Protein backbone atom coordinates (compact mmCIF):
# COMPACT_ATOMS: atom_id res chain seq x y z
CA UNK A 1 0.00 0.00 0.00
CA UNK A 2 1.32 3.43 -0.98
CA UNK A 3 0.79 6.03 1.71
CA UNK A 4 -1.01 9.31 1.24
CA UNK A 5 0.76 12.64 1.65
CA UNK A 6 0.63 14.26 5.09
CA UNK A 7 -2.44 16.25 6.00
CA UNK A 8 -2.93 18.95 6.86
CA UNK A 9 0.09 20.23 5.00
CA UNK A 10 1.38 23.30 3.24
CA UNK A 11 0.67 23.67 -0.45
CA UNK A 12 4.25 22.68 -1.35
CA UNK A 13 4.23 19.64 0.94
CA UNK A 14 0.90 18.56 -0.57
CA UNK A 15 2.13 18.91 -4.13
CA UNK A 16 5.41 17.15 -3.37
CA UNK A 17 3.52 14.44 -1.49
CA UNK A 18 1.01 13.72 -4.22
CA UNK A 19 3.67 13.75 -6.94
CA UNK A 20 5.86 11.37 -4.92
CA UNK A 21 2.85 9.14 -4.31
CA UNK A 22 2.24 8.89 -8.06
CA UNK A 23 5.92 8.17 -8.74
CA UNK A 24 5.78 5.37 -6.17
CA UNK A 25 2.55 3.98 -7.64
CA UNK A 26 4.19 3.75 -11.07
CA UNK A 27 7.17 1.85 -9.68
CA UNK A 28 4.83 -0.40 -7.66
CA UNK A 29 3.02 -1.35 -10.87
CA UNK A 30 6.38 -2.46 -12.27
CA UNK A 31 7.64 -4.25 -9.17
CA UNK A 32 8.56 -7.90 -9.51
CA UNK A 33 8.40 -8.02 -13.30
CA UNK A 34 11.30 -8.91 -15.56
CA UNK A 35 12.36 -6.94 -18.63
CA UNK A 36 10.20 -8.97 -21.01
CA UNK A 37 7.12 -8.39 -18.88
CA UNK A 38 7.86 -4.69 -18.49
CA UNK A 39 8.29 -4.27 -22.25
CA UNK A 40 5.21 -6.33 -23.12
CA UNK A 41 2.42 -4.52 -24.97
CA UNK A 42 -0.57 -6.59 -23.89
CA UNK A 43 -3.15 -4.56 -25.82
CA UNK A 44 -2.61 -5.28 -29.51
CA UNK A 45 -3.97 -1.93 -30.65
CA UNK A 46 -1.80 0.10 -28.26
CA UNK A 47 1.87 1.06 -28.00
CA UNK A 48 1.65 1.12 -24.21
CA UNK A 49 3.88 -0.98 -22.01
CA UNK A 50 4.85 -0.48 -18.40
CA UNK A 51 8.41 0.26 -19.46
CA UNK A 52 7.18 2.75 -22.04
CA UNK A 53 5.24 4.55 -19.31
CA UNK A 54 8.35 4.69 -17.11
CA UNK A 55 10.37 6.11 -19.98
CA UNK A 56 7.65 8.61 -20.94
CA UNK A 57 7.23 9.90 -17.40
CA UNK A 58 10.99 10.21 -16.83
CA UNK A 59 11.19 12.27 -20.00
CA UNK A 60 8.12 14.35 -19.13
CA UNK A 61 9.56 15.22 -15.70
CA UNK A 62 12.86 16.16 -17.31
CA UNK A 63 11.25 18.37 -19.94
CA UNK A 64 8.82 20.20 -17.67
CA UNK A 65 10.84 20.64 -14.49
CA UNK A 66 14.43 20.78 -15.65
CA UNK A 67 14.36 22.07 -19.22
CA UNK A 68 11.30 24.33 -19.31
CA UNK A 69 11.12 25.54 -15.71
CA UNK A 70 14.71 25.44 -14.45
CA UNK A 71 16.24 26.25 -17.84
CA UNK A 72 18.79 23.46 -17.62
CA UNK A 73 20.64 22.55 -20.78
CA UNK A 74 19.05 19.10 -21.09
CA UNK A 75 17.06 17.63 -23.90
CA UNK A 76 14.71 14.71 -24.16
CA UNK A 77 15.89 11.31 -22.97
CA UNK A 78 14.30 9.08 -25.60
CA UNK A 79 12.42 11.28 -28.05
CA UNK A 80 14.09 12.44 -31.25
CA UNK A 81 12.91 14.21 -34.39
CA UNK A 82 13.06 10.85 -36.16
CA UNK A 83 11.32 9.04 -33.27
CA UNK A 84 8.89 11.47 -31.61
CA UNK A 85 7.26 8.54 -29.79
CA UNK A 86 10.63 7.07 -28.79
CA UNK A 87 9.70 6.63 -25.13
CA UNK A 88 6.98 4.18 -26.19
CA UNK A 89 8.25 2.86 -29.53
CA UNK A 90 11.90 2.17 -28.73
CA UNK A 91 11.34 0.04 -25.64
CA UNK A 92 13.84 -2.81 -25.28
CA UNK A 93 13.43 -5.48 -22.59
CA UNK A 94 17.21 -5.69 -22.26
CA UNK A 95 17.27 -2.04 -21.10
CA UNK A 96 14.57 -2.39 -18.42
CA UNK A 97 16.88 -2.01 -15.42
CA UNK A 98 18.68 0.92 -17.05
CA UNK A 99 15.36 2.62 -17.85
CA UNK A 100 14.13 2.16 -14.27
CA UNK A 101 17.42 3.55 -12.95
CA UNK A 102 17.13 6.49 -15.36
CA UNK A 103 13.63 7.19 -14.06
CA UNK A 104 14.83 7.17 -10.44
CA UNK A 105 17.82 9.38 -11.30
CA UNK A 106 15.63 11.84 -13.18
CA UNK A 107 13.30 12.14 -10.19
CA UNK A 108 16.30 12.97 -7.99
CA UNK A 109 17.52 15.56 -10.49
CA UNK A 110 14.06 17.12 -10.55
CA UNK A 111 13.90 17.24 -6.76
CA UNK A 112 17.23 19.04 -6.71
CA UNK A 113 16.24 21.44 -9.51
CA UNK A 114 13.12 22.68 -7.70
CA UNK A 115 14.11 22.27 -4.04
CA UNK A 116 14.55 25.96 -3.24
CA UNK A 117 12.28 27.41 -5.90
CA UNK A 118 8.99 29.17 -5.23
CA UNK A 119 5.74 27.76 -6.58
CA UNK A 120 5.04 31.31 -7.78
CA UNK A 121 8.22 31.46 -9.88
CA UNK A 122 7.25 31.97 -13.51
CA UNK A 123 8.86 30.87 -16.75
CA UNK A 124 8.11 31.12 -20.47
CA UNK A 125 8.12 28.16 -22.85
CA UNK A 126 7.31 27.13 -26.38
CA UNK A 127 6.99 28.99 -29.63
CA UNK A 128 3.87 30.75 -28.34
CA UNK A 129 5.94 32.05 -25.38
CA UNK A 130 3.41 30.67 -22.91
CA UNK A 131 3.79 31.79 -19.29
CA UNK A 132 3.42 29.37 -16.40
CA UNK A 133 4.64 28.95 -12.84
CA UNK A 134 6.15 26.04 -10.93
CA UNK A 135 2.77 25.30 -9.37
CA UNK A 136 1.38 24.65 -12.85
CA UNK A 137 4.17 22.16 -13.55
CA UNK A 138 3.44 20.25 -10.35
CA UNK A 139 -0.28 20.06 -11.09
CA UNK A 140 0.37 19.09 -14.70
CA UNK A 141 2.73 16.30 -13.63
CA UNK A 142 0.27 14.98 -11.05
CA UNK A 143 -2.39 14.93 -13.78
CA UNK A 144 0.03 13.16 -16.16
CA UNK A 145 0.86 10.50 -13.59
CA UNK A 146 -2.78 10.01 -12.61
CA UNK A 147 -3.70 9.27 -16.21
CA UNK A 148 -0.77 6.96 -16.82
CA UNK A 149 -0.98 5.18 -13.46
CA UNK A 150 -4.49 4.16 -14.50
CA UNK A 151 -2.95 2.71 -17.64
CA UNK A 152 -0.24 1.04 -15.55
CA UNK A 153 -2.82 -0.68 -13.34
CA UNK A 154 -4.55 -2.15 -16.38
CA UNK A 155 -1.28 -3.13 -18.07
CA UNK A 156 -0.06 -4.87 -14.91
CA UNK A 157 -3.28 -6.83 -14.63
CA UNK A 158 -2.99 -7.89 -18.27
CA UNK A 159 0.68 -8.88 -17.88
CA UNK A 160 0.36 -11.14 -14.84
CA UNK A 161 -3.12 -10.83 -13.39
CA UNK A 162 -2.06 -8.81 -10.35
CA UNK A 163 -4.70 -6.42 -9.12
CA UNK A 164 -3.64 -4.14 -6.31
CA UNK A 165 -5.38 -1.23 -4.68
CA UNK A 166 -3.45 2.01 -4.54
CA UNK A 167 -4.45 2.29 -0.88
- Tens-of-pLDDT digits for all 167 residues of the chain? 688 888 899 999 999 999 999 999 999 999 999 999 999 999 999 999 999 999 999 999 999 999 999 999 998 999 999 999 999 999 999 999 999 999 999 999 999 999 999 999 999 999 999 999 999 999 999 999 999 999 999 999 999 998 875 55
pLDDT of residue 165: 55
Between CA 135 and CA 156 the distance in angstroms is: 31
Task: Please state the pTM of the whole predicted model.
Answer: 0.94
pLDDT of residue 5: 85
Assess contact for 88 and 41: CB atoms under 8 A: no
pLDDT of residue 160: 92
Between CA 138 and CA 29 the distance in angstroms is: 22
Left (φ > 0), alpha (ψ -120 to 50) or beta: where does 161 sit? Answer: left
pLDDT of residue 162: 85
Q: What are phi and psi of 128, to 5 degrees?
A: -80, 0
How large is the greatest C-alpha to C-alpha distance in the chain, in angstroms?
47
Letter string b/e over residues 139-159, b meaning 16 or more CB atoms within 10 A of that residue's CB: bebbebbeebbebbbbbbeeb
CB-facing half-sphere around the CA of 82: CA atoms within 13 A: 1
pLDDT of residue 151: 97
Task: Tell me the CATH number for domain 15-160.
Answer: 1.20.120.450
Amino acid sequence: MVSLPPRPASERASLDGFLDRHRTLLLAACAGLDGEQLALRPVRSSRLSLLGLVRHLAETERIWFRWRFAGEDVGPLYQTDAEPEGPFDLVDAADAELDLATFRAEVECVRHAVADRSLDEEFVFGRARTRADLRYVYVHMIEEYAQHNGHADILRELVDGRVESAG
